[in-house]
Structure 1
Amino acid sequence: MGVKVSVVVPVSEPGTDDDAFDACVRSLLEQTMPSDEYELIFADDGSGDGTRERLDAVAAVRPNVRVLHLEPTGTPTRGRNVGLAVARGEYVFLLGQRDRLERVALEVMYRAAAHTDADVLVGRLVQGDNPPPRAFARNVERADVLRDRLLTVPTAHKLFRKTFLDAREIRFPEVEPELSEQAFVLKAYLTAKVTTILADQVCCHVGAEPERFPDPAGHAAGLRAVLAVIDDHTGPGELRERLYAQWFRTGVLRPLGGRHLPAARPDQRAALFAALRELTLERFPEALDAYLPVHLRARAALLRNGELGRLVALHEASRGMSLRAELRDVRWDDGVLLLDLAVEIVDAQGTPVTYRADGDRLLWTPPLQGLTLPARVTDVTGQVDRARMEVYIRHAEYGLIFFLPVAGEVCRSQEGDKVRLWAVGRARLDVGTAALGRPLRSGEWEVHVRMHSGAHHARTRVAGHRGAQLSCVGVLAGEPRKLVIPCWSEQRELSVCVQPRSFAESIVLVSPGAAVTHRDGGAFVVLPVPYVPPSGGPPAELVLRQLANRSRVVTVPALVEPGVPGRYPGQLVARVGIRRFPGDGHIAPGVWVPRLRVDGEESDLRFVLDLGRSGRVRVEPSAEPGALVPRRSLFVRVATRLPGGRHLIRLAHAIQQRYLPTQIDD
């Protein structure tokens, strides 16, 4: 049987200790597709850091691996083109040296492409903790560039039919690498007979690229290459306008904001601004602004007017926008977790963002004092009508992201001519179907919320205030049945754990809900137990180590008792003795770090115990700033203010370490 898929990877000096490159290579060698059905082509751009030898060593023992040794060019463009020229596969997949594939990716993508007879197959991507593009909302056998939002996936991480690329003469132009990639993909989108979206299977994890300030002339040349593709393959009309607007937004206006422009040297800033203004006046008419959000319309107006100083000032004044999210309720309903939320976008001072009412219109007020823009720029009436809240979950280990169904509304209130906007809604998490109709994989899933308000959008983790209560009841849900537990992180952020690995882990997850009661001269540490096995659970112990002296360890038995109805089924209770001075079987004043020991294995709990001189024990979050720093004693606080005091402290520490059972905390 011939080669089904060729994977082309341009390589440029990843270094011998680059974990991302190692993960990339491993992910390719460990594919479930039989090795004689796919080939790996590494196009090495003259690397001199040992990469050449490493790749040659792999190729020597893997018949399906080829290494192309090229003269150095400093970009991946030539490597990609040479790799495409020599590829023997029916399809070609393009990967970066910091990216990695899921083990089943080539097998699943090839099967889907063959089934739909696709020229281009767009497999689901994961990119850091960013929400997935809306193109991956569902599987689509025959996708449309605009309707199915293919432009939100402009990178080359796709499966391309080799004969299609050759017949259309689709290659990477010799321009700035990112825009070369986009020109390649755009031509494929516009000329393919069938483009398929595979949304329900994560295929590729895209690694982060090093940030760099764009070369003004090179960036403008790259944009011209993209526009040439649009001109060659579209006629006048909405499609061409939407495509132009997309690259005006991402290629011109976005580089004039973000982190790049304000941090650049004045000469770099001026050169980029001049190059992009010239291109804008030549190729991007003002009519395209109708497709832009309001903050980019404002940026476009300042760009056309040549007001670089005001553009930078507007960006600085707009920084600090964030989302305030209130978690109002979390509860189970027949195996489905319901999350009631209210969200609102606020400025850097925490003040809600408002709009100005002007008759039937809503107008955006620029945050830059003294900046006046025409109503055609600041009118956000239509955008506000489309305001919405979105809730999604992210796998803490693998980065997989899925949106949850949300039912709710956008609310308005008006005081004078100021209109305030917020959203309320209920998200439904069904672990049996949340992964685009499939069950969620095991592990801890973070809960995030995002709001689009018309003029702005912001996102945040769903968090609870310090005293917020959370039902820690674990439920067997989905098919096959899995234990699902809502829980707080150390930062009081909401997560949902699917199928904890052990009884101990299930307790660790909800341990920020620990409490202490004092009785009979001791402290009773109470941990919620989200799910009590029919056996009652294995024997457990609480192991406490003093933060200031880890050799001091106190171990006490912990017993499972009935819990609080409606909040958690059981509770793990451990009695801890308290004394003024340290000794066996009890704790002394200081900070103590607890661990849970079950079946001989210890697990870190998500809190610490702080025993004061008064004999009272407090539970503190382990990740709270300063929580793990021992309290400075009166002796230390006074001594540091005296001449030679620090030497006295060091001497006292040395004496204590050698002769005394207690310790002076610094």
Structure 2
Amino acid sequence: MGVKVSVVVPVAEPGPDDDAFDACVRSLLEQTMPSDEYEVIFADDRSDDGTRERLDAVAAVRPNVRVLHLEHTGSPVRGRNVGLAVARGEYVYLLGQRDRLERVALEAMYRMAAETDADVLIGRLVQGDNPPPRAFSRNRERADVLRDRLLALPTAHKLFRRSFLDTREIRFADVDPELSEQAFVLAAYLTAKVITILADQVCCHLGAEPERPADPAALVEGVRAVLAVADAHSDPGEQRERLYAHLFRTAVLRPLGGRRLLSARPDQRSALFAALRDLTRERFPEALDAGLPVHLRARAVLLRSGELRRLVALSEASRGISLRAELREVRWDDDVLLLDLAVEIVDAEGTPIAFRADGDRLLWTPPLDGFTLPPRLADVTESVERARMEVYVRHADHGLIFFLPVSGEMCRSQEGDRVRLWAVGRARMEVGTAALGRPLRPGEWEVHVRMHTGANHARTRVAGHRGAQLSCVGVLAGRPSRLVIPCWSEQRELSVCVEPKSFAESIVLVSPAAAVTHRDGSVFVVLPVPYVPPSGGPPAELVLRHLVNRGRVVSVPALVEPGVPGRYPGQLVAKVATRRFAGEGHIGPGVWAPRLRVDGKEADLRFVLEMARGGRVRVEAGAEPGRLLPKRSSLARTLTRLPGGRYLLRMAHAVQQRYLPSAPEE
């Protein structure tokens, strides 16, 4: 059988300690597709850090791996083109040296491409904690470049039919690497008969690329290359205008704002600004500005008028915009988790962002004194009508992201001529179908929320304020049923754990909700138990270790009491004797780190106990950072060597430590 897929990977000195590159190579060698059905082509840019030898060693024992030793160019462009020229596969996939594929990626992508006769197939991408583009909302056998927002997917991480690329003579232009990718992909988009989207299977995890200082001349040359593709493969009219507007937004205006602009040296800013201003005046007509997001309309006005100083000031004034989210309730409706939220975008001072009312129109006011937009450019009325809140979950370990269905409304209030806008809504999390109709995989899923208002957008983790309550009850959900538990992180951020690994882990997850009760010279430590099995659970012990004197350990049995399934959690109760002085079998003044012992194994709990000299004991979980331990203290060094010690050290920083300053220093 012939080669189905060729994977081309340009390589340039990743270094012997680059974990991302090692993960990339492993992901290619561990594909579920049979090794005689795919090949891997590493195009090495004359690396002299040992990479050439490592890749040659892999190729020596893997018949489906080839290494191309190229002359040094400092760009992945030649490696990609040479790799495409020697590829033997029916399809080719282009990967970066810091990216990695899911094990089933090549098999899943090829199967769908063959079924749909695709010239181009786009497999679902994951990049850090960024939510996925809307193109991945569902599978599409026949995707449209504009309707399905494919321009938001400009990188070459796609499966291309090799004969299609050869027939259309599509290759990478020798320009800025990122814009070379955009030109390559745009040519494929505009000439392909069939573009398919595989959305319900994560295929590729994109690695972080090191930031490069902007080269104005190279940037302008790259933009011209993309414009040439748009001109060659589109007719004058709406499609070309939208292509131009997208490029103007992403390649010209985006570099002229935010951190990239503010971190550049003044001479770099001036050179970049001058080059992009000249290009804008030549290739991007002013009529494009009306279709931009309003904050980019402001940048376009300042760019066209040559006001670099004001452009920098606008970026400075726009820093710190964030999303304030209030978690109002978390509850179960049978086996569906309901999250009630209220969210609002605020500025760096915490003041809600507001619009100016002008009759029945809403106008955006730039956050810069003395600068206003013409009403036709400041008008955001239609954009505000499309304002929305979105909620998504992200796997803490794998980075997978899925949006949850949300029902709710946008709310307005007006004071004088200022109109505030916020959203209230309810998100539904069905574990059995949340992954685009499939079950969520086991693990902790962070809950995020983002909001678009027509002028700004922001996102944040869903968090609870100090004292906020969370029902820690777990529910058996999905088919087959799995235990699902809402829980707080150490920073009081909401997560949902699907199928915890053990009974002990299920308690650890919700342990920040621990409480204490004093009675008759003892303290009762009470922890919620999300789910108590019919058997009542295994025997458990609470183990307390003094943070300063590690030899002082108190272990007491813990009783597990069942709750009401689906309504109230159970609880684990441990009676701990207290005394004002150290001794066997009881705790004394100081900070104590608790662990849960089940079946002979111990697990760190997410809180500490602090006992004052007067005998009162309190729980500290997720507190604001307090005074740091002495930098060279023996306690700090000892803790880092203990199992779970780094966590205990962080928690020790969060409490008011009245006893630690006396710890000896070397």
TM normalised by structure 1 equals 0.94
Distance in structure 1 (CA, Å) of the matches to 2:319 and 2:6: 44
Residue of structure 2 in register with 1:537 after alignment: 537
2:640 maps to none
Find the counterpart in structure 2 of residue 330 from structure 1: 330
Amino acid at match of 2:267: D
Contact 1:155–1:181 at 8 Å: present in 2 too?
yes
SS of 1:460 mapped into structure 2: strand
Is 1:628 paired with 2:661?
no
> Where does residue 602 of structure 1 map in the other structure?
602
2:246 alignment counterpart: 246
Could you tell me whether the CA contact under 8 Å between 1:353 and 1:420 is conserved in 2? Answer: yes
Match of 1:584 in 2: 584
Deviation at 1:372, TM superposition (A): 2.1
2:511 maps to what in 1?
A: 511
How many residues get paired? 641
Q: CA deviation at 1:595?
A: 1.2
The letter of the residue matching 1:194 is V
Distance 1:632 1:26 in 2: 46
Q: Report deviation, 1:535.
A: 0.8
Q: Secondary structure at the match of 1:259?
A: helix
- How far does the alpha carbon of each residue in 1:430-469 deviate from its partner, in whole angstroms, 9 at most, with x for none? 1111000111111110110000011000001111111111
Q: Which residue of 2 aligns with 1:378?
A: 378
Distance 1:632 1:386, change over 3 A: closer
* Offset at residue 569 of structure 1 (A): 3.0
Task: Determine helix, strand or coil for the equivalent of 2:345.
Answer: strand
Q: Structure 2, unaligned stretches of length 5 or more?
A: 627-650
Q: 2:612 aligns to what?
A: 612
CA contact (8 A) 2:345 2:451 kept: yes
1:62 is matched with which residue? 62
Structure 2 distance, partners of 1:71, 1:547, is 58
Equivalence for 1:272: 272
**How many Å separate the matches in 2 of 1:209 and 1:145?**
26
* Aligned CA-pair RMSD: 1.4
Deviation at 1:623, TM superposition (A): 6.4
Structure 1 residues 463 and 166: alpha-carbon distance in aligned structure 2, compared to 1, 3 A threshold? same
Contact in 1 for aligned 2:492/2:622 (Cα 8 Å): no
2:490 is the counterpart of 1:502: no
Give me the whole-angstrom Cα distance separating, in 2, the residues matched to 1:635 and 1:19: 38
CA distance in 1, matches of 2:255, 2:659: 54
How far apart are 1:633 and its partner, in Å? 4.6
Q: Does the CA-based 8 Å contact 2:174-2:180 persist in structure 1?
A: yes
CA deviations on 1:388-416 (whole Å, 9 max, x unpaired) are: 00000000110000001111110111111
Q: 1:663 — aligned with what?
A: none
Counterpart position of 1:7: 7
Rounded to whole Å, the distance in 1 between the matches of 2:566 and 2:478 is: 21
Unaligned runs of 5+ in 1: 637-648, 655-666
Q: Confirm or deny: 8 A CA contact 1:472 1:567 kept in the other structure.
A: no
The answer to whether the aligner puts 1:347 opposite 2:347 as a matched pair is yes
How is 1:42-53 mapped onto 2 (pairs within 5 angstroms)?
Answer: 42-53=42-53
Give 1:644's aligned residue.
Answer: none
CA–CA distance in 2 between the matches of 1:597 and 1:313?
Answer: 57
Q: 1:632 Cα deviation (Å)?
A: 5.3
Distance in 2 separating the partners of 1:318 and 1:428? 33
Distance across 2 between alignment mates of 1:432 and 1:159: 29
Contact 2:13 2:47 in 1 (8 A): yes
Q: Which amino acid aligns with 1:342?
A: A
Task: State the one-letter code of the partner of 1:100.
Answer: R
- Deviation (angstroms), 1:583: 2.3
Which secondary structure does the structure 2 equivalent of 1:537 belong to? coil
Seen in structure 2, the aligned counterparts of structure 1 residues 633 and 123 have a Cα distance that, compared at 3 Å, is: closer
Deviation (angstroms), 1:14: 0.4
- Which residue of 2 is the match for residue 27 of structure 1? 27
SS of 1:628 mapped into structure 2: helix
Contact 2:516 2:526 in 1 (8 A): yes
Specify the code of the residue in structure 2 equivalent to 1:370: G
Aligned equivalents of 2:395, 2:560: Cα separation in 1: 30
Q: Which amino acid counterpart does residue 528 of structure 2 have in structure 1? A: P
Aligned sequence identity (%)? 81
Equivalent residues of 1:44, 1:67 under 8 A apart = yes
Tell me the equivalent position of 1:640.
Answer: none
SS at match of 1:295: helix
Structure 2 equivalent of residue 159 of structure 1 = 159
Structure-2 separation of matches of 1:585 and 1:179: 68
Q: Counterpart of 2:526?
A: 526
In structure 2, what is the Cα distance between the partners aligned to 1:623 and 1:246?
45
Deviations 1:606-659 (A, max 9, x none): 1111111121111111564134137555896xxxxxxxxxxxx78x768xxxxx
Match of 1:102 in 2: 102
Mean CA deviation greater in 542-551 or 176-185: 542-551
Question: Which whole-Å CA distance do the structure 1 matches of 2:575 and 2:234 have between them?
Answer: 75
Structure 2 distance, partners of 1:562, 1:255, is 57
Letter in 1 for 2:84: L
Distance in 2 between the 1:527 and 1:617 partners? Answer: 15
Separation (CA, whole Å) in 2 of partners of 1:7 and 1:529: 48
Distance in 2 of aligned mates of 1:233 and 1:635? 71
Aligned counterpart, 1:389: 389
Task: Provide the residue aligned with 1:192 in structure 2.
Answer: 192
State the alpha-carbon separation in 1 of the partners of residues 548 and 179 from structure 2: 55
Q: How far has the Cα of 1:594 moved from its partner?
A: 1.1
